[in-house]
Structure 1
Amino acid sequence: MAQPLYQRIVNDYREAIESGRLRPGELLPSEPELIARYHASKSTVGKAIAALKAEGLVFSQRGRGVFARRRPSIRRIASERYRADMEPQDTPQTSFTAEQGIAWQDYRLDRTYEWIEADERLGELFGVAVGTRVLERRFVFHSKGEPTQMSRPCLLASDVEGTPVADPDREPWPGGTIAQLRSIGIVVDDVQESVSARMPTPEETATLSIGSGVPVFAITRRMLAQGRVVEVADPIVIPADRAILDYQIKLGCPGPNP
């Protein structure tokens, strides 16, 4: 079956962007130029541009045209990434900076702190009553100046109120939440995560510069100390075109059959 003309246009410009022949920020040919080049109708060209936008490959600016979008670096997220937060901090780092492979000076954390009362979802995740006082933190993680992740990590007021952990001016904190809690005598010994995929909210799209049609990983994390939930991050949001989730499952060798 012959390939639809709009798909040929999409394939040509996808290859040009991914190969680097069309550089980030470079202007694509105008609609009339594409119509003439491919002997296509206006609707065919429009469909091709819409498909490229949906893949996050291009973006448009009113009155200026359509531009190639910078391809994001791919971040590998391993199941054992929090070990970076447990290690001695000879050089400041967190699991985020370790994954990104960036130096501490290339890391920025935008944050807002607010004391709230746990709703039903937070209460269920923490295992506490609705209305329990909670420190809600909202973070935007930047790697070399680019926003790449959002999260909403919450802590129980009974654990952190009146401690340096509740001071937003102490952020970013080497070793992240695990080191923060350890500094007040709470040792995290278990991390549980649930990962889902969904489309981003308008706020997430704007904050993380997510391309049209690109979904996000939405991760719900619980940190535990001796079986007690001491932190809930709900959600952690990462654009799905910027991450690969790597999980290792070690299986013991089965014994001999009786």
Structure 2
Amino acid sequence: MAALPSGVLGTLDPTSDRAVFRQIADQLREAIDKGRFKEGAKLPSEAELTDHFGVSRMTVRNSLSVLQSEGLVSSEHGRGVFVRPRPPVRRLASDRFARRHREQGKSAFTVEAEAAGSRPEVDSLEVREERATPDISARLGSVRKVLARRRRYLLDGKPVETAVSYLPLDIARDTPIAEPNPGPGGIYARLEELGHQLDHFEEEVRARMPAPDEVKALRLASGVPVIHLVRTAYDTEGRAVEVCDTVMSADAYVLAYQLPAN
């Protein structure tokens, strides 16, 4: 069996009190972090790792399981274990809702996808009227009924995000916002055409592990968390005109912010 290239992986430390399978996982993780195994690259086979470290195949499998649980690698049956891609989309909070994008007929997701060189898609679209939950009602100023727009976003055919927009029914009913395709610039462009000039947005962001339905919708690998973001849009009169509840695959995004220093 061919030896691994020199310098890619080191040797075990027999004096360490750290479990052998974790030492192997540490070395593989370091090799990934330093680019010795690049995105999409296939890791050495179980047989190669067993031979290199002089351990049992079960020990190697335990090491690879650690990396899978961290979302660093994915296993493809019959092919091997591969390094998962790094985040492809940079989500720049200070720019994504700039009016110039709406005036160009582009949604925030389209702008970000184009910057990443990816093909954006939207599917699983559902638009319907429904009763507001207590949380959504409170965020929208005690409204009782809302128009809910549910959708899933994909990049190059891969699901990366789900989102539900809730809008007060007195604003959205019988307008293009209630149509599956609200038109160029999306619902924010339509809100401004209806006289609700957007003033600012407030976002709450947290990271968590996904629910089973989110794992299915986003096709998440084991160990990959989600970013849960709730955004509220306000018009110049101070009215909350939309709440967007978004769940993003954490390995698909980098959240970037510009903050004033004064």
- Same fold, TM-score > 0.5, yes or no: yes
Instruction: Specify the SS of the correspondent of 2:198.
Output: coil
Task: Give 2:109's aligned residue.
Answer: 96
The structure-2 alpha-carbon separation of the partners of 1:33 and 1:213, relative to structure 1 and needing over 3 Å to count, comes to same
Pick the aligned partner of 2:134 from 108, 113, 120: 120
User: 1:25-73 CA distances to partner (integer Å, 9 max, x unpaired)?
Assistant: 847524x5543432223442232121111122333356x3643154143
Does the alignment pair 1:39 with 2:54?
yes
Which letter does structure 1 place at the counterpart of 2:215?
Answer: T
Instruction: Specify the SS of the correspondent of 2:63.
Output: helix
Pick the aligned partner of 2:258 from 240, 243, 248: 248
Pick the aligned partner of 1:58 from 73, 91, 107: 73
Task: Give 2:179's aligned residue.
Answer: 167
User: 1:174-211 CA distances to partner (integer Å, 9 max, x unpaired)?
Assistant: 32332121132221111111111111112222222322
Does the alignment pair 1:71 with 2:82?
no
Q: How does 1:1-258 map to 2 (within 5 A)?
A: 2=16, 4-14=19-29, 19=35, 21=37, 24=40, 26=42, 29-30=45-46, 34-61=49-76, 64=78, 66-84=80-98, 86-87=99-100, 91-102=104-115, 106-110=119-123, 111-129=125-143, 132-168=144-180, 170=181, 173-225=183-235, 226-234=237-245, 236-252=246-262
Unpaired segments of 5 or more residues in structure 2? 1-14
Deviation of 1:92 after TM superposition, in Å, equals 3.9
State the number of aligned residues. 244
Which letter does structure 2 place at the counterpart of 1:125?
Answer: R
For 1:219 and 1:187, the matched residues in 2 are separated by: 23
Does 52-61 or 191-200 show the bigger shift? 52-61
Deviation of 1:128 after TM superposition, in Å, equals 1.4
Which letter does structure 1 place at the counterpart of 2:154?
Answer: H
TM-score of the aligned structures, taking structure 1 as reference length: 0.80
- Output the aligned Cα RMSD: 2.9
For 1:158 and 1:230, the matched residues in 2 are separated by: 10
For 1:188 and 1:68, the matched residues in 2 are separated by: 44
For 2:49 and 2:128, the matched residues in 1 are separated by: 51
Deviation of 1:144 after TM superposition, in Å, equals 2.5
Which letter does structure 2 place at the counterpart of 1:145?
Answer: G
For 2:23 and 2:176, the matched residues in 1 are separated by: 57
For 2:116 and 2:63, the matched residues in 1 are separated by: 40
Task: Give 2:3's aligned residue.
Answer: none
TM-score of the aligned structures, taking structure 2 as reference length: 0.79
Kept in 2, the 8 Å contact 1:107–1:142? The answer is yes
Instruction: Specify the SS of the correspondent of 1:81.
Output: coil
Deviation of 1:141 after TM superposition, in Å, equals 1.2
Kept in 1, the 8 Å contact 2:71–2:223? The answer is yes
For 1:34 and 1:239, the matched residues in 2 are separated by: 30
Kept in 2, the 8 Å contact 1:75–1:242? The answer is yes
Instruction: Specify the SS of the correspondent of 1:101.
Output: helix
The structure-2 alpha-carbon separation of the partners of 1:219 and 1:103, relative to structure 1 and needing over 3 Å to count, comes to closer
Unpaired segments of 5 or more residues in structure 1? 253-258
Deviation of 1:16 after TM superposition, in Å, equals 5.7
For 1:52 and 1:120, the matched residues in 2 are separated by: 40
